[in-house]
Structure 1
């Protein structure tokens, strides 16, 4: 990896020899970085317009997708083949994490410059370079669409970093779109293809008590103290280890605790946030049962005027593709043909793959260029990796769209 310190040369192009098609990818990625699209902060209009200009100049069919409130959440590019077959999808987000402390960056977060072979700026790694690369692949395939089976959809999401995944949801709900047989998500990192992930079960817990004055002689267990006892129960809860072919164990985390207002009042309510990462051996039903047992134990030990209330907030299933299942097989085989050593990985954090798994759609994620500063300061992406990563995705998509022996 190159060090950031001492870098003084700044260019608007790329460094080193690069064929015109990769120059085109880099220039589009630069244009996207120079249009800030921080999730929940910036207007997505400019970054979507930059994509629309590029796609329109190449006569690629695309349209905007909207959420229930009429707000744009994605662009969808659709390249229909000339022969029957399943559709496949490439997905990359063009919204980004926030900048954080801009004073800690050694270059402007929206510079989009290339220095010593690294594309710099927020979104360079996650995932504007991948979005530009997928647009280029769509343009290549559009030129030979008559030879393809099924079709290719490219989803360019502007509601990913919110955690709402509105673009993916709008795509799946769009009755005009063909449901994909599988999806490849363009997160960065050249060493792994994510073929699975733990699921999640999330809930808020309302812990009640009798309110009172903190200086009163009456001894009352307040809601915060009751919640603290519940956290102790949860910290001691026994969870199973990895089982079978799923390599990760479940994990329980208390992620928030809110209660009380001031010093003189014993609070009557404290709310906890619970995040449980689930596995095939410990699913959402098991997570729900564990929390209910802990709550019942609390209410029996420290009774309160109202029972402790559990409000489930979200649930996604765990998933794992086998390495011979599409689209994982096509991506791993294409990487091997390019001489890359890429391992299949099951991820601990959840991603859009879990959302797709809940819909019965297999997905891969996490194969792309080397990167630094993801969601942190000085985000940048290594352009030396672009030709091989581009070739891997291009070969994988071509295999899926031309080989009749590659069923979903």
Structure 2
């Protein structure tokens, strides 16, 4: 007798303690990028898969031997093809004095799993691994396959998933589910693109004692330009009519999450952050060179010519001669249709498990999901999260959130792979 969707749902709930233990074991591994070796985490994941009867492979991508990539596969050769994507590396913990508990505690305290990576994204990764394990050992008949893609350099270089996509590992994927943290009130179905903009101001050197009268200060010239950087945020994206609901959802999620005046515009307008300023060499010399590096995020549909025109206008408004702009286009804004079978199934299952509305929405940042969407693969992000601790102190995630995420992943995989 073949297992049903309800059977597999019950299997998840029966094994929930195993899931939580897996989360804790992953968090206890100290693999901060780029401080620590990723080898203990890689070996742990491969050993877990092997213990579940799942063969895995290790690949060396663009990041080299220190940051290997792991793939695995279960299911049949014919049918629907699903990719589960995640990363095992975590950001550094920072100052130990900022933590209320050991950053690598990996224990449950007051209903929360505590430690670095709990939300981003060791618990999300555990859900992916656990889902494959349940399906494998249950003997469920899948009308298709599930492929695991796991990187360990996402928090630094982010080349692991890119390498997989460029080397055929995502070929033919009908759905991609990235376990990055979102919380249960939203499904991330689109992201902004990325532009790295560098402004370079050229001046004329001179002795600092005569700076007002001799020389041309490149730092001051650059500063006049940066006073106008917010003009770039007037550039808007271009969305199709059928994307209107997702845009509206996105503004709601942004307001809930960031809680700042006017923050809804971060979804459908360009954002610009001056992240690095460099200039000068000596305090007593008029600097002849200064640069600013600006992180620009591009809403869906943004045309590059619009951005260049906005930068030209900013420079003109500043009235600063001798300032050059250099553009490094990293990624375009990207999105998955909210009417796709993947999104429809996931939304239905989230709302059934939580009894609350879930809003498919676009993200104001970017992630590895963009690499799959570039290939035309319907891609979402969904994973357990407490957003307050991500990349900060005292990171944790609710046990309930993790268990329910596993329920939702199983129900959705059943929908996609023909288990009724």
Shorter-chain-normalised TM-score: which range? 0.7 to 0.9
Matched, 1:231 2:226: yes
Give the aligned partner of residue 303 of structure 2.
283
Output the CA distance in 2 between the equivalents of 1:331 and 1:176: 23
Map 1:5-404 to 2 at 5 A: 20-68=14-62, 69-82=64-77, 84-143=78-137, 147-162=141-156, 164-175=157-168, 178-188=171-181, 189-216=183-210, 218-237=213-232, 239-241=234-236, 244=239, 245=244, 246-247=247-248, 248=267, 249-295=269-315, 301-304=319-322, 308-338=323-353, 339-370=355-386, 372-402=388-418
Output the CA distance in 2 between the equivalents of 1:358 and 1:403: 29
Shift of 1:236: 3.6
Give the aligned partner of residue 9 of structure 1.
none
Deviates more, 1:187-196 or 1:175-184: 175-184
Shift of 1:369: 4.8
Structure 2 stretches lacking a partner, 5+ long: 1-11, 249-266
Q: TM-score, normalised by structure 2?
A: 0.83
Please tell me the root mean square deviation across aligned C-alpha atoms, in Å. Answer: 2.5
Q: The residue matched to 1:327 in structure 2 has which SS?
A: helix
Output the CA distance in 1 between the equivalents of 2:395 and 2:273: 29
Q: The residue matched to 1:275 in structure 2 has which SS?
A: strand
Q: The residue matched to 2:125 in structure 1 has which SS?
A: helix
Q: Any conservation in 2 of the 1:222–1:267 contact (CA below 8 Å)? A: yes
Once the two structures are superposed, what CA deviation does each residue of 1:275-301 show, in whole Å capped at 9, x if it has no partner?
222123533332233224444666xx4
Once the two structures are superposed, what CA deviation does each residue of 1:216-248 show, in whole Å capped at 9, x if it has no partner?
374332110111122134334561456652452
Aligned residues: 380
Give the aligned partner of residue 251 of structure 2.
none
Once the two structures are superposed, what CA deviation does each residue of 1:171-228 show, in whole Å capped at 9, x if it has no partner?
2133466442231111231211111122221122221111111223743321101111
Q: TM-score, normalised by structure 1?
A: 0.85
Output the CA distance in 2 between the equivalents of 1:403 and 1:235: 51
Output the CA distance in 2 between the equivalents of 1:281 and 1:26: 41
- Asked which structure has the greater RCO (Cα within 8 Å, sep 6+), the reply is 2
Output the CA distance in 1 between the equivalents of 2:41 and 2:389: 21
